[in-house]
A and B are shown apart, each in its own frame.
Chain A
Amino acid sequence: MKIVYLDNNATTQVAPEVLEAMLPYFHDLYGNPSSMHSFGGQVAQKLREAREQVATLIGASPDEIIFTSCGTESDNAAIRSALATHPERRHIVTSRVEHPAIKSLCANLAGQGYRVTELPVDKNGLLDMEQLESSLTPDTAVVSLMWANNETGVIFPVEKAAALAHERGIPFHTDAVQSTGKIPINVKKSAIDMLSISGHKLHAPKGIGVLYVRKGTKFSPFLIGGHQEKGRRGGTENTPSIIGLGKACELAARRMEAENTAVKRLRDKLETALLDGIPQSRVNGDLFQRLPNTTNISFEFVEGEAILLLMNEYGICASSGSACTSGSLQPSHVLRAMGVPFTMAHGSIRFSLSTYNNEEEIDFVIEKLPPIIERLRGMSPYWTSVAQACVSA
């Protein structure tokens, strides 16, 4: 069966160019970049290139790039470093809609006596900047806000938020895992101190991440070991993946604008057609402050897991914020923070596109999804009563 992959916020296909760039570093050029022989040394040269490619994509200098194993490691390293370098401060500011890498970490730190402020969002998933400002205190050790939300694609004004923190001498971290490669990022023009990237969200492999740390920012390493990454992250470099990530960043920098026009057009086509073709459906999250590849749509009175499994029968891959897909019994914390009613939250589906999607695939989904929703609504006890209410009214 042909796969229609619309789950790119979960993970992406490794770009063919990326794979090609990586392959020699598994078999022919497997040397350790730290070795004192040119067999290893030539790999070190390639790592320098990759570091430059990553730095260029986000407007950083190469020595501000630390390679890690994943976005979660980068997030942990950033927060723990801010706390370790400001031991007298015991307050963390974050939001209610963060990825579990930040959310669970902060909950864990709250259990260790840190005070955590989780800023609320409005019904469109947007932050109140005044509320952010008033939450900052001399005791605040770090502010961590995601650049773009993984479930809704909603973009936070992190540059403004970073400026507010900076004025007060508070380190600012952003989880930019979803935004890197999708929207322009220039850390040089912002007051962002630390920024997390995950390779597999931008067509590099899984198991490689980046933490950007601004020059001059106090840093305390998370993984202590060898002198790799200038002592800021011990452990032998994952050379093929670093080289792959470098290539992926180079591709993203080159293609971002063109891709986003094309990807956004397909996303908008899908969204409009589904909203038109399926009654009682709506988009979750702000329509404008949003990643170009993501749409999160709720289909009222049906349950997300059932939708996903019926789409799966056609090879269509997406995600849901319903309780049943998480196993947590509660629908997505992001949708709950936005006050999305339960009737909508349980039936939410996230479609996230990439440059590898085409028109034909989008047309296929537009054709297959309405009957799936109709079929599930035909089984739903709520849909009947709502439909009857509409007729009698």
Chain B
Amino acid sequence: MWEYTEKVMEHFLNPRNVGEVENPDGVAEVGSIACGDALKLSFKLDENKRIKEAKFKTFGCASAIASSSALTELIKGMTLEEAMKVSNQDIAAYLGGLPQEKMHCSVMGKEALERAIENYQGAPAKETGAQIVCECFGVTDREIERAIRENNLTTVEEVTNYTKAGGGCGNCHDAIRQIIERVRAEAKPAVRPKLTTIQKIRMIEEALEREIRPSLKHDGGDIELIDVVGNRVLVATRGACAVCKASDITLKHFVEAKLRDLVSPDLIIEEVAP
């Protein structure tokens, strides 16, 4: 059984503002029945352009209903500018927190709010140019990027908890991993101090131990650092990696990308015979 806070249960059992606003100023529907949750949000403004009334209709679990209820309570009385700043964490915090696996309910609330405001402003949907990454749940790269940025996510599992992306067949896990690396690389300061070889070796060993080996070992593989020559990182693969046909893909796309991210963007991985 999920451990819901009292506040979540209270909002689930006595949801506020259920229904649809008559003649709404803004309205949006996000999610889908295939995905297991959906939210229709509508609001009306007063003469001072503050949100006078906000209502929801939700198909979903207790935390989806509680998140929708919390959202409508949060935004009442806000200007649209203020409402735009409401984040998914604000919704979760209002409820005293949500289980990690249910954070996507708060993200759904935030999305509905943004779309409803865009609907009022007559703005074109911001998602133009966005690519679907997760086919199972129809999640785009934009949505994933934003969830990573706003919630400081670092693993595929976390991205799944917040956006559902990757929670179905699992075919998009590599794509999500690449988005995480890309977004986190952007967040890093561009200029880095020049590293000595000793520093590099130390940082590479640490990155291998902390970030890389656990994933490889999960599949029965391992990696060993042989030498560092300038920016060339010479490694040998062990265990399942040593006989795996896809190991150079792993080295390029996973190990090298991680080391570039964590140590230095100029590093080049090279495999040597053990």
What residues of chain A have their CB less than 8 Å away from a CB belonging to chain B? 301-306, 309-310, 313, 322-325, 327-331, 342-343, 346, 378-384
Main secondary structure of the interface of A (DSSP, over half): helix
Task: Quote the shortest CB–CB distance from A302 to chain B (angstroms).
Answer: 7
Residue interface bits B37-71, CB-to-A below 8 A is 1, else 0: 11110000000000000000111111111000000
Please report the C-alpha to C-alpha distance between residue A305 and residue B38 in the assembled complex, in whole angstroms: 14
**Bound form: Cα–Cα A324–B102 in Å:** 9
Contacts of A380 in B (CB 8 A): 57-59
Pick from A303, A325, A328, A384: contact of B37, CB under 8 Å = A303
CB neighbours of A322 from chain B (8 A): 36, 61
Is A324 touching B59 in the complex (CB atoms < 8 A)?
Answer: no
Q: Which of A306, A313, A330, A343 contacts B33 (CB 8 A)?
A: A343
Q: Which residues on the A side are within 8 Å of B64 (C-beta)?
A: 303, 324
Known contacts A323-B36, A382-B33: does B62 contact A329 (CB below 8 Å)? no
Task: With CB as the reference atom, state the residue of chain B lying closest to A384.
Answer: B57
User: Which single member of B33, B58, B60, B65 contacts A342 (CB below 8 Å)?
Assistant: B33
A384 proximity list for chain B (CB < 8 A): 20, 57
Give the distance in Å from the alpha carbon of A188 to the alpha carbon of B244 in the complex.
47
From B10-18, B148-156, B205-213, the one touching the partner chain is: B10-18
Closest 8 CB pairs of A and B: A329-B167, A324-B61, A305-B61, A381-B40, A381-B57, A323-B36, A380-B59, A342-B34
Residues on B with beta carbons closer than 8 Å to the beta carbon of A324: 36-37, 60-61, 63-64, 102
8 residue pairs from A and B, CB less than 8 Å apart: A303-B64, A306-B61, A306-B62, A309-B62, A322-B61, A381-B38, A382-B59, A383-B59
Q: Give the residue among A327, A330, A381 with the most B Cβ atoms within 10 A.
A: A381
Which A residues are CB-close (under 8 A) to B63? 324
Chain A residues near B61: list those with CB within 8 A: 303-306, 322, 324-325
B137 contacts the other chain (CB 8 A): yes
Chain B residue with minimal CB distance to A310?
Answer: B13
Distance in angstroms between the alpha carbons of A114 and B60 in the assembled complex: 39
Q: Of all chain B residues, which has the CB nearest A111? A: B219
> Interface SS of chain B: helix, strand, loop or mixed?
mixed
A305 and B62 contacting across the interface, CB-CB below 8 Å: yes
Nearest CB of chain A from residue B264's CB, rounded to whole Å: 35
- Residue of B at shortest CB range from A304? B61
What is the CB-to-nearest-CB distance from A75 to chain B, in angstroms, rounded to a whole number? Answer: 24
B84-140 with Cβ < 8 A to chain A: 101-102, 136-137
Please state if A328 and B39 are interface contacts (CB–CB under 8 Å): no
B156-183 residues at the A interface, CB under 8 angstroms: 160, 164, 167-168
Q: B141 near A: Cβ within 8 Å? A: no
**Alpha-carbon gap, A304 to B60, bound state (A):** 8
* In the assembled complex, B145 has its CB within 8 A of some CB on chain A: no
Query: Roughly how many angstroms separate A346 CA and B167 CA in the complex, as a whole number?
Result: 15
Q: Which residues of A contact B167 (CB under 8 A)?
A: 328-330
> Is B59 a contact of A329 with CB atoms below 8 Å?
no
The reply to whether the CB of B261 lies closer than 8 angstroms to some CB of chain A is no
Contact A306–B13 (Cβ < 8 Å): no
B271 close to A (CB within 8 Å): no
Q: Tell me which residues across on chain B come within 8 A of A342, comparing CB atoms.
A: 33-34, 36
Q: Which residues of B contact A309 (CB under 8 A)?
A: 9, 12, 62
Pick from A346, A381, A383: contact of B36, CB under 8 Å: A346
B62 nearest CB neighbor, chain A only: A309
Which residues of chain A come closer than 8 Å to B25, judged between CB atoms?
none
> Would A303 and B12 count as touching, CB distance under 8 A?
no
Contact with A along B1-23 (1 / 0, CB 8 A): 01000000100110100101000
What is the bound-complex CA distance between A327 and B29, given in angstroms?
Answer: 23
Chain A residues, CB < 8 A from B58: 379-381
Quick one: which of B33, B102, B136, B168 has the most chain A CB within 10 A?
A: B33
> Can you name 16 extra interface pairs (CB under 8 A) apart from A324-B60, A329-B35, A346-B33?
A305-B2, A306-B12, A309-B12, A324-B36, A324-B61, A330-B136, A330-B167, A330-B168, A342-B33, A379-B15, A379-B57, A379-B58, A381-B29, A381-B57, A381-B59, A382-B38
Contacts of A382 in B (CB 8 A): 33, 38, 59
Please, which residues of chain A bring their CB within 8 A of the CB of B34? 342
Complex CA distance for A305 and B58, rounded to whole angstroms = 13
B36 and A303 contact, CB distance less than 8 A: yes
Pairwise interchain contact A306-B65, C-beta atoms closer than 8 A = yes
Q: Mark B249-264, 1 if CB is under 8 A from A, else 0.
A: 0000000000000000
Contact partner, A329, options B2, B57, B60, B137, Cβ 8 Å: B137
